[in-house]
Amino acid sequence: MSEPQTFTDRIKQSSHPLALLFFLGFRIGAPVAYALGMFFTKSFILEFITVILLLAADFWNVKNISGRLLVGLRWWNETDDNGESIWVFETANPDRQINPVDSNIFWFWLYLTPFVWGVMGILAFLKLEFLSLILVIIGLTLTIINTMAFTRCDKFGKANDLASSVFGTVSGSMFGRLVPSFFRGNQ
Amino acid sequence: MSKKWKPVAVNPDEADDFELEPDTIEPDVETPVQPQQKASSTQAQQQSQGQGGSSSFFNFSNFVSPNIDLSQSFNPLLKNEQVREHAFTGGDTLDEPVWKTLERDFKAIGQRLLSVMWPASLSKLAKIQQHNLLIAARNSGINVGINFDQLGQDLEQDIANTPLDDSDLKKLAWDLWGPLLFTLVFAVILGLMSPEANSSEVFSGVFAIVWSTLAVIAVNIQLLGGTISFFNALSTTGYAMFPLLLLAITSIFIKWSFIRFILYVILVAWSVYAATVNLKVHGVLPGRVFLAIYPVGLVYATLGWLCVIT
């Protein structure tokens, strides 16, 4: 995967090109709409709604569509009879071939977007734009939830061979040190 | 989602057989151990030694992992959010088509909306759930301040006539799509109806205030006990905002404040009623429904009043 490839080459190698395009569209769309929104519209309300809806769509899309099509993982949270919250992790059959292009792009953007939102949060705080900070906090929360849940799902199932994915191993182990033990495992 | 929610299944006949077995505490006859071994012993052993009051001289591991367990102090808060994880064991939904995923979520949202628009459709379910919760509370020794025998006799006949239907309970899956859209539209309407200069401040202020108060309310509901989780409470109180959304929409067209006020009373009452029924279904303990609904009613009344005076 180290040789340079154009974007269209990567899309052509993908097993689920449409899912990949939607994934990238929502993933990148929300931060871009946040960063460049004020160049296109003077209305803060319009920008706010656009970013919120893009974020919600991205959250739902990653959780329900991209995860299972691109890397064969799915997570959700349900409540049992006693009101305890249960994380359910579903992983694909190990025999199932995971396309490395799909997998690399998925994990790369899964870990990158929380950092992007974090940087924009620091910028918004330094510029004292507290209205925008609401958006950044929402974006940070939604992206981090997905990142942690998929990281746990992946560790839980071990369906995906992380060693083959450079981004997965590096950022996965780094992330493991950063996240609280609550999300890391069941010890 | 795929796993159906089941009510708290407690057989009332077994409640009488409930008895405490005396704890058999082994006397602490452990021979004095070397400090090195002690440091490597587990925390559970240290705690039992501490309770036994045996030789407890300076022990470094006490500083690393103190015996005082603060997690007990936060027990009411953490009780419902204990995380267990298990692998999915149902059918394979990983390869389902996208439209099926969409359809399932849209159906869930529709069910949820229906339960707010016509709360009476849930009243039977609420009764049964409350009955089950009452039995569960009695069995686990929680005093909810209700005479069980009297209420139980009233309800037993109802339940004998109407067996519990599992399919009614699957709308218990929570989601935040409804609350998100409701608060967005609500905030947009209030923002656009305020003076042009500060409409964006009003918009984001209303949006943030609604979400933070809903979160505080959800924590309150969860602390009151029962089987409701934080996000379920958030979702329930958020969906029950739907009548307030109607109030905001009508206030665009109706400028006469008297009619606005009448609508305000009707729609806020509808919201509170819907929230009450839904909270009962989702597992607030019987004697504490009023405690749960009181702050919800205050918030709905305040938010509705914003629509009247705008």
Cβ contact B227–A83 (<8 Å): yes
Residue B24 token pair: 């058999």
Cβ contact B200–A44 (<8 Å): yes
Partner-chain residue, chosen from B88, B94, B188, that has the shortest CB–CB distance to A45: B188
CB proximity list for A63: less than 8 A, separation 6 or greater? A74, A75, A76, A146, A149
Within-domain flag for A152: yes
Share of chain B above pLDDT 90, in %: 25
**CA-closest candidate to residue A99, choices A169, A171, A26, A12:** A12
pLDDT at residue B149 above 50?
A: yes
Pick A170 or B114 by higher pLDDT.
Answer: B114
Contact B185, B177 (CB under 8 A): no
Partner-chain residue, chosen from A52, A60, A74, that has the shortest CB–CB distance to B184: A52
pLDDT value of position A113? 94
pLDDT value of position B44? 39
pLDDT at residue B90 above 70?
A: no
d(CA B232, CA B239): 10
Tell me which H or E stretch contains A88: strand A85-91
Kindly give the residue spans of alpha helices, DSSP state H, lying in B30-176.
35-40, 43-52, 61-64, 75-78, 98-117, 123-139, 148-161
Cβ contact B207–A134 (<8 Å): yes
Q: Measured between CB atoms, does A89 come within 8 Å of chain B?
A: yes
Within-domain flag for B286: yes
Within-domain flag for B58: no
CB proximity list for B306: less than 8 A, separation 6 or greater? B190, B206
Partner-chain residue, chosen from B98, B172, B204, that has the shortest CB–CB distance to A131: B204
Within-domain flag for A127: yes
- For residue B212, the enclosing domain spans 177-309
Distance from CA of residue B69 to its chain's centroid? Answer: 26
Residue B256 token pair: 């006469």
Within-domain flag for B108: no
**Whole-angstrom distance between the N-terminal and C-terminal Cα of chain A?**
36
> Is the entire prediction scored with pTM above 0.80?
no
Residue B74 token pair: 């936060």
Cβ contact B88–A85 (<8 Å): no
d(CA A21, CA A28): 10
Kindly tell me the burial class for residue A163, based on how many C-beta atoms sit within 10 Å of its own C-beta (0-12, 13-18, 19 or more). exposed
pLDDT value of position B56? 40
Residue B28 token pair: 């602490």
d(CA A27, CA A177): 24
pLDDT, one tens digit per residue, over A122-164 is: 999 998 888 889 899 999 999 999 999 898 888 876 644 443 3
Tokens 């953490």 -> residue: B78
pLDDT value of position B88? 56
pLDDT, one tens digit per residue, over B268-303 is: 999 999 999 999 888 888 888 899 999 999 999 999
Residue B90 token pair: 């149902």
pLDDT, one tens digit per residue, over B158-178 is: 666 665 555 556 556 778 899
pLDDT at residue A89 above 90?
A: no
Confidence grade of residue B263 (pLDDT, cut at 50, 70, 90) = very high
Pick A38 or A50 by higher pLDDT.
Answer: A50
pLDDT, one tens digit per residue, over A10-46 is: 777 777 888 889 999 999 999 999 988 878 877 888 8
Of A73-82, B27-36, B73-82, B99-108, the range with the highest mean pLDDT is: B99-108
How many other CB atoms are found less than 10 A from the CB of residue B56?
13
Number of domains in chain B: 1
Number of helices and strands (H, E) in chain A?
7, 2
Handedness of CA A1, A142, B116, B204 (dihedral sign): negative
Tokens 């769509």 -> residue: A57
Within-domain flag for B302: yes
From chain A, pick out residues whose CB is under 8 angstroms from the CB of B95: 68
d(CA A19, CA B294): 46
Within-domain flag for B18: no
pLDDT, one tens digit per residue, over B228-250 is: 888 889 999 999 999 999 999 99
Within-domain flag for A1: no
Kindly tell me the burial class for residue A58, based on how many C-beta atoms sit within 10 Å of its own C-beta (0-12, 13-18, 19 or more). buried
pLDDT at residue B203 above 60?
A: yes
Within-domain flag for B242: yes
- For residue A136, the enclosing domain spans 7-186
**CA distance to partner chain B, nearest, from residue A84 (Å):** 5
CB proximity list for B75: less than 8 A, separation 6 or greater? none
β-pairing, A73-79 vs A85-91, is antiparallel
pLDDT value of position B210? 94
Number of domains in chain A: 1
Within-domain flag for A2: no
Within-domain flag for A159: yes
Within-domain flag for B229: yes
Pick A46 or B14 by higher pLDDT.
Answer: A46
How many CB pairs below 8 Å do chains A and B form together?
Answer: 108
